[in-house]
Amino acid sequence: MKLKKYYLFVFLLSIILLIFISSSLPLLSYQEARRAIIIQETFLFKNLIPTFNGEPYLTKPPLHTYLSLPFFALGKFLGKEIFFLRLVSFLSYFILILSLYFILKRDLWKTFLITLLLFSSYRFLSFIYRIDLEPLFIALVSLNIFFLINYLEAPSSKKAFFFFLTLALAFMVRGPLHFLFFPAFLGYAFLYRERSLLKLLFFIPGWLLFLILVLPFYLMGYLKFGASVFYEFLYIDLRERIGASQRDPFYYYFKALFFNFFPYLLLILFKTKKLWLNLAELKEKPFLKFFLFIIFIPLFILSFTGEKFDKYLLFLYPFLAIILAEVLGYLYSARFLLSLALGLYFINFLALIFSLLWSLGDLKNTVTLWQRNLDPKKSYVFYEEIQPLALYLLKRPVKVILREEKLRMYPGPETLLLSPKEIVPKKPVLILPDPYKKQKFWYIYLN
């Protein structure tokens, strides 16, 4: 017991260190800057519908933005907006761990083991400090599955409403990705004759609650801006990624899952014989078959998409970690598993810190260059594309010129033009390196 408490203390200390390091991180990528801009504009201009560069942003639902607003306000007051926005992700992972604790019937040490399994995945851990949708989505999906399990154990209308509430909240973070669970739910219900699960899936008052929470935002966006406002979601996020001409291999997601949990899968392979002998007993483990369904059916469906991104799998990771913990628990001692998982976590933790520190010096210098050379009091326009760091620093929408013939109007005597390429025969007054894309420069012109 003393050893377990020591491990827990060391783990918590490392997370506190990660929070401390994240307090000094600038915006790390185009994606982070884009997400921060949406939150900043929603806060500064008091928008009900989030905007990006002054244009309505309905590509992703607004819940992450709304929940980030008080963090942004507090960060603005203390001069630490970016750090406070990162806290949303840290708190989301805390909610995830709490939901796992309740799924596992308040078994602290099994929850700790599963947390170590998750955090020894570099990809999963790297989202803990990012300004991103994924941590909040993962947390809400895990809560949603907790309420589903809670309902299956003792069905009631109250529990059903909690299931649909968290289903709607997860939807309002990143859309319908977790609806991939529904074929798994149906398959499990029919195969194992789970009538209570079928009853839940066709619970009309629950679906009405879902619609009440989800529809008003989209209806408001449609009535105010028309159908064109959904173009990016329908034709880029859905059509292009599902039916992309350049298709990633079918096994892409299986490979991603395998490499993120490789050490633990290897441990299972070492004891295949023992696993086979205990298979009948493992099958009787509560909800183990259910977790297998909700992992592999969504994984199989996602594998048919064209353009693939391994972050789309992250919401499945907690349930795979539960399965691995249960299986490994039959094959190895708890002390061995905790020691190994903590060791792998620390290797992962150190790799993450090293990669951050390795790139941080150049990134901070480049970000400082942009901060020093952009004056929010001056007028700016972009040519062809938006530089998100510049947009975040200027704290206001900036016009974008897409056609070359309009360049003759800019830059005016008091307007600076930011271009990702040289414009002949004009001479730039300043050239700044792009902080996120190597070998890319931005040219600033003035008449």
pLDDT tier for residue 408 given thresholds of 50, 70 and 90: low
How many residues are listed for the chain in this entry? 447
pLDDT of residue 241: 60
pLDDT of residue 234: 58
pLDDT 10s digits, 205-260: 999 999 999 999 999 988 888 777 666 665 566 555 665 556 778 889 999 999 99
Is residue 95 located within the same domain as residue 230?
yes
Is residue 265 located within the same domain as residue 307?
yes
Which of 61-65, 306-310, 337-341 comes out lowest in average pLDDT?
306-310
Is residue 233 located within the same domain as residue 294?
yes
Q: Which of 134-143, 249-258, 280-289, 351-360 has the highest average model confidence (pLDDT)?
A: 134-143
Place of tokens 């907690």: 318
Q: Is residue 366 part of a domain?
A: no
Q: Is residue 235 part of a domain?
A: yes
- Which stretch of DSSP H or E encloses residue 51? strand 51-52
Q: Which of 92-96, 310-314, 424-428 has the highest average model confidence (pLDDT)?
A: 92-96
Is residue 379 located within the same domain as residue 338?
no
Q: Give the whole-number percent of the chain exceeding pLDDT 90.
A: 67
The whole-model pTM stands at 0.94
Of 336, 360, 384, the one marking the end of a domain is 360
Is there a contact between 167 and 210 (Cβ–Cβ < 8 Å)?
yes
Mapping DSSP to helix (H, G, I), strand (E, B) and coil, where does residue 106 land? coil
pLDDT 10s digits, 87-135: 999 999 999 999 999 999 999 999 999 999 999 999 999 999 999 999 9
Which of 185-199, 289-303, 407-421 comes out lowest in average pLDDT?
407-421
Q: Is residue 315 part of a domain?
A: yes
Query: If you average pLDDT over every residue of the chain, what do you get?
Result: 90
Of 360, 386, 407, the one marking the end of a domain is 360
pLDDT tier for residue 189 given thresholds of 50, 70 and 90: very high
CA distance 237 to 59: 8
Which of 15-24, 234-243, 285-294, 338-347 comes out lowest in average pLDDT?
234-243
pLDDT of residue 245: 55
Is residue 85 located within the same domain as residue 206?
yes
Domain count, the chain: 2
Is residue 212 located within the same domain as residue 340?
yes
Is residue 270 located within the same domain as residue 413?
no
Give the mean model confidence (pLDDT) for residues 425-429: 86
Is residue 92 located within the same domain as residue 122?
yes
276 contact partners, CB below 8 Å, separation of at least 6: none
Q: Is residue 367 part of a domain?
A: no
Structural domain span for residue 412:
374-445
Q: Is residue 147 part of a domain?
A: yes
Place of tokens 């530089």: 387
pLDDT 10s digits, 139-188: 999 999 999 999 999 999 999 999 999 999 999 999 999 999 999 999 99
Is residue 278 located within the same domain as residue 380?
no
Is residue 434 located within the same domain as residue 381?
yes
Is residue 393 located within the same domain as residue 328?
no
pLDDT of residue 404: 67
pLDDT of residue 346: 95
**Cα dist. 191→143, 152, 163 in Å?**
25, 15, 22
**Cα dist. 135→41, 125, 327 in Å?**
22, 10, 26
Over 70: is that where the pLDDT of 200 sits? yes
Is residue 171 located within the same domain as residue 210?
yes
